C-alpha cells in the first residue's frame, strides 16, 4: 500500500497508522495524544478510503469532507492525504494579556480574529508557528460573556517549550489556535441535575467556565466544585469562586491538598487527602449526577473508576484529561 503526502509516496505497512508512517519519514505533523482524543493530527483525504474508526469524534460535516484522525487511521488500500491548514480548523488570535495568578500559573487572554464558536469547558490546540509545536489548553471563558476573547490558564513548567514561549510574548503578538474540541461542557438538559466538578491544578480552567455557564443558563440543581492540588500554589481563583458561591445558593466549593498531612499548618484552610475519598464522604449517592473531571490523566482515570463504582453512570461522566509528554519532536502536552 502507498500513502501519498505532499507529492511523496510512502510505503504503508499493514497495521501501521498514517501518523506513524509520516513521522517515520520525518514529516513535520502536528500531534498530541496519539489516542484520537486531542484531534491535533487531523488530515483530509484526497483519494482512497479511511476506516470509520479514524473519524470518531469528528462532526458529520467533517466526516463527509474526508477529515480523519491520522493516529487512528490504518488504511486497507492506497491513500492520498493533505493538511487541513486551510480547511476551517485553524483560527488566528492575538495576545490581550498575560496575568500571573500564582508563581507558576498564568491567565492568558487571547483576542479571536474572526468567527469562533465554542462551549465553556472545551479546549483548543495552540500552535507555535516556528515549528508547529502543539499544546492543548482548556477554555475557562464563557462565550456569553467573552464574545471576542478566550481565557486560558497556563501552568509554566521548567523547560516547558510552549509555556515558556507563551510567557515571552507581548500584547498584540499573533498566536494560532485550532479548535474548539472536546465534549466536557454543560448542556441545557442538565439544568435540574446535581453537578459534581472535580479539578486538579489547572484542571480548574474548564470547570470555572462550566460553572459560570451553568449558572448563566439558570441551573437549578446543586453544584459541588472541588479543586485539588499538590501544593497551595496549585490552588488559585479562590476569591473569584467565593464570590460566585456567595451569590448562588446551590453552589458548594471546597479546596484540598493531596500531598500534605491532615495536621500540617501549611494545609490550612484547605482539606487534605485524596479528593475522591473526601467527595465520597460528602456525597454518598452519585446516581443521576452529572460529573465533570479535569486534570492529569492518571488522576482523572482513577476518579472516573471510583465514581462509577459509587453509582454514577459512565455516560454521565465527562472527562478532560491532560496528557504530558517527554520532549517529542512535534508533540503536545495537555496542560490546562
DSSP string, 277-330: HHHHHH-S--TT-EEEEEEEHHHHHHHHHHHHHTT--GGGEEEEEEP--S--SS
Q: What is the pLDDT of residue 268?
A: 59
What span, in angstroms and rounded, lies between the C-alpha atoms of 100 and 19? 37
As beta bridge partners, residue 317 has 291
What span, in angstroms and rounded, lies between the C-alpha atoms of 9 and 14? 16
Q: What is the pLDDT of residue 222?
A: 97
As beta bridge partners, residue 290 has 195
What span, in angstroms and rounded, lies between the C-alpha atoms of 318 and 123? 13
Q: Give the count of beta carbons closer than 10 Å to the beta carbon of residue 221.
A: 15
In the three-class reduction of DSSP (H, G, I as helix; E, B as strand; rest coil), residue 239 is classed as: helix
Domains, the chain, with CATH or none: 2-82 (3.10.20.30), 90-181 (2.40.30.10), 188-322 (3.40.50.80)
Q: What is the pLDDT of residue 179?
A: 81
C-alpha cell read off for 126 = 495552540
Q: What is the pLDDT of residue 322?
A: 86
Residues 6+ apart with CB under 8 A from 21: 3, 10, 11, 12, 13
What span, in angstroms and rounded, lies between the C-alpha atoms of 42 and 287? 36
Q: What is the pLDDT of residue 331?
A: 39
135 and 333 in contact (C-beta within 8 Å)?
yes
CA distances from 227 to 6, 90, 125, 326 (A): 46, 32, 24, 26
pTM as predicted = 0.75
CA distances from 284 to 160, 277, 287, 311 (A): 40, 11, 9, 9
Cis peptide before 180 (omega within 30 of 0): yes
Q: What is the pLDDT of residue 87?
A: 46
What span, in angstroms and rounded, lies between the C-alpha atoms of 58 and 208? 25
- How do residues 208-245 score in pLDDT, each as one tens digit? 999 999 999 999 999 999 999 999 999 999 999 999 99
What span, in angstroms and rounded, lies between the C-alpha atoms of 275 and 279? 6
Q: What is the pLDDT of residue 329?
A: 38
H and E: helices and strands count for the chain: 7, 17
Order of strands across the sheet that contains 79-82: 8-11, 2-5, 79-82, 42-47, 67-69
Backbone angles phi, psi at 93, to 5 degrees: -140, 170
Backbone angles phi, psi at 244, to 5 degrees: -65, -45
Radius of gyration of the chain (CA): 21
Residues of the chain falling short of pLDDT 50: 86-88, 265, 326-333, 336
Q: Where are the alpha helices (DSSP H) in the chain?
A: 18-24, 60-64, 161-167, 204-216, 238-247, 275-282, 297-309
Amino acid at each position: 500500500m502507498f500513502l501519498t503526502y505532499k507529492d511523496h509516496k510512502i510505503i504503508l505497512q499493514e497495521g501501521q497508522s498514517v501518523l506513524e508512517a509520516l513521522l517515520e519519514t520525518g514529516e513535520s505533523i502536528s500531534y498530541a495524544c496519539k489516542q484520537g482524543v486531542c484531534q491535533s493530527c487531523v488530515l483530509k483525504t484526497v483519494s482512497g478510503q479511511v476506516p470509520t474508526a479514524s473519524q470518531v469524534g469528528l462532526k458529520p460535516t467533517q466526516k463527509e469532507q474526508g477529515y480523519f484522525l491520522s493516529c487512528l487511521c490504518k488504511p486497507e488500500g492506497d491513500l492520498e492525504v493533505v493538511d487541513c491548514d486551510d480547511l476551517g480548523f485553524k483560527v488566528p488570535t492575538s495576545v490581550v494579556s498575560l496575568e500571573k495568578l500564582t508563581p507558576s500559573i498564568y491567565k492568558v487572554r487571547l483576542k479571536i480574529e474572526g468567527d469562533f464558536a465554542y462551549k465553556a469547558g472545551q479546549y483548543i490546540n495552540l500552535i507555535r508557528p516556528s515549528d508547529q509545536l502543539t499544546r492543548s489548553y482548556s477554555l475557562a471563558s464563557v462565550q456569553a460573556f467573552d464574545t471576542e476573547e478566550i481565557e486560558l490558564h497556563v501552568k509554566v513548567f521548567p523547560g516547558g517549550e510552549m509555556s515558556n514561549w507563551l510567557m515571552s510574548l507581548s500584547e498584540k503578538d499573533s498566536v494560532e489556535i485550532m479548535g474548539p474540541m472536546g465534549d466536557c461542557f454543560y448542556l441545557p438538559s442538565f439544568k435540574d441535575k446535581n453537578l459534581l466538578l472535580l479539578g486538579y491544578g489547572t484542571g480548574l480552567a474548564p470547570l470555572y467556565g462550566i460553572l459560570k455557564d451553568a449558572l448563566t443558563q439558570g441551573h437549578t440543581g446543586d453544584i459541588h466544585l472541588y479543586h485539588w492540588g499538590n501544593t497551595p500554589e496549585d490552588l488559585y481563583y479562590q476569591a473569584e469562586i467565593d464570590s460566585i458561591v456567595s451569590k448562588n445558593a446551590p453552589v458548594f466549593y471546597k479546596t484540598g491538598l493531596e500531598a500534605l498531612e491532615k495536621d500540617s499548618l501549611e494545609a490550612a484552610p484547605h482539606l487534605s487527602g485524596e479528593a475522591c475519598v473526601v467527595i465520597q464522604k460528602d456525597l454518598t449517592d452519585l446516581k443521576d449526577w452529572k460529573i465533570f473531571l479535569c486534570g492529569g490523566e492518571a488522576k482523572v482515570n482513577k476518579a472516573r473508576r471510583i465514581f462509577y463504582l459509587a453509582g454514577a453512570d459512565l455516560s454521565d461522566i465527562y472527562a478532560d484529561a491532560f496528557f504530558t509528554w517527554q520532549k517529542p519532536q512535534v508533540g503536545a502536552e495537555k496542560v490546562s
